[in-house]
Structure 1
Amino acid sequence: MLIDRGATTTNFMIDLGAQPAAAAYSMIQFTYYGIIVGTMAVLASRQYRLSIGLQRLPAGCLVVGAILGVALCVVVLIMDIAHVAGRVDVMADVSIAYGPLYILTFLFLCVGLAGQPTVRYLSARRRAARTRTLIKELSPAWRAATIVRPGLSQTDAASVQTDSLEAQLHRQVVEIRDAMIDPRVSFSLSASDRLVLERAERHLLGTDGARLHTTVAPATRRKSQRGAA
């Protein structure tokens, strides 16, 4: 309402930025943008610290894109102030950074936002493939365990057919463990089968990393030893 717009223009700030109202409009808008992308940078950096491997890539791109976005907002604010103050030379000098910052901000934010579902999809496929491998490797020990101690798989076969891969692996682990600790039957695992069982347990718990391996594996081995005894 306070801007003297004159004829229609497609270069709003270039043509009208010398007016205080237009400068205020742009500065309020880009201050808001700066707060938003600055908050995104904080949240994405936290996500980056909590992520591992390929999952860090989208979060890292969001951090970079958000930082570039904040820098872009600062550049726009400087240009607005310089324009309304009549320092067109300063505005022209600062505007050199506007184009590259705009493009890089756009690219990094797009890659970061699109990369999150892509990484989740690839991670899910990789986890499913690993689950299938563990089911196949654990099947001989599981069949041996259910021979000496029939479990839910024998009494509820229809349910097993519709279970997810994670549920099938979980059922195998539980039934093997049940056979190992049941004093009424005699069942033990070979060293190689025990390692597969421990890998399956860590996989189900999501603790495949080396950092958590040192805390999970000893407890698992103690359980195995008690079951074998």
Structure 2
Amino acid sequence: MGDLGAQPAAAVYSVINFSHGALVIATMLVLAARQFRHSTGVQRLPAALLSPGSTFGVALCLAVIVMDIAHATGHHDLTHAIQAAYDPLSVLTFVFLCAGFAVQPAVRRAQNRARRRHTISFTAQLEPLWLRTTHARPGLSQADPLAAKSEDPEGHLHREIVEIRDAMIDPRVTFDTSRTERALLERAESHLVGNDTAVATTLTVPNVEERES
């Protein structure tokens, strides 16, 4: 900037580039803020890092634009005054944006592992009810047991839920469930379709010998 900043063509080129950069980063700031509002728990961490990073990035672009204009118009005092903020803004923008982008895949992997644990937990908790179901109404698990065992955790949980629901609505069999069992089934269904907003908690396996009215 010391060599080319006073040249109008260089100033215009820099202003255009940093104006485009400010627009892109401002859009990312809006998206990060929206993601933060619509997320919960650890899902907010990437947005919480990208939001200040984007804010610092927009401020950095605006600072460069002002310095370009001030230098090209001969207002060197203003250029030097704003230049003091250039290095801190550059560092803060780099640190927060890099941290936000780096955390996103880590959070996604952690969520996938947590979801898998919750799926396995729900599968285990539904197993006593499912075993009663298969005795009352043999389903696909008995017709093709090898295929059932080879399913992933979510596929196995889905099979359990479907067979339990089929037994509950089949008029040919008598299959009673308690309120606790139905609540557990609904929680498992919500988890499977992704409607459980909070971290699933482990429930005790319902006592199938005790019935609730």
In 2, the alpha carbon distance for the partners of 1:65 and 1:122 equals 23
TM-score (norm 1): 0.81
TM-score (norm 2): 0.87
2:154 — aligned with what?
Answer: 166
The equivalent position to 2:52 in structure 1, one of 40, 64, 69, is 64
2:203 — aligned with what?
Answer: none
Residue 165 (structure 1) shift: 0.9
Residue 15 (structure 1) shift: 2.5
1:224 — aligned with what?
Answer: none
1:9 — aligned with what?
Answer: none
> How many residues of Structure 1 are paired with residues of Structure 2 in the alignment?
200
Query: Within 5 Å, which residues of 2 pair with 1:32-181?
Result: 32-181=20-169
List alignment gaps of at least 5 residues for structure 2. Answer: 199-211
Residue 196 (structure 1) shift: 1.9
The equivalent position to 1:201 in structure 2, one of 186, 189, 192, is 189
The RMSD of aligned alpha carbons is: 1.8
Residue 191 (structure 1) shift: 3.5
Please list every run of at least 4 consecutive aligned residues from structure 1 whose deviation after the TM superposition is greater than 6 angstroms: none
3-state SS of 1:16 partner: coil
**Structure ranking higher on relative contact order (CA contacts 8 Å, 6+ apart):** 2
3-state SS of 1:23 partner: helix
2:201 — aligned with what?
Answer: none
List alignment gaps of at least 5 residues for structure 1. Answer: 1-12, 211-227
Q: Deviations over 1:163-200 (max 9, x none)?
A: 12111111101111111221211112234323321211
Identity %: 51
2:10 — aligned with what?
Answer: 22
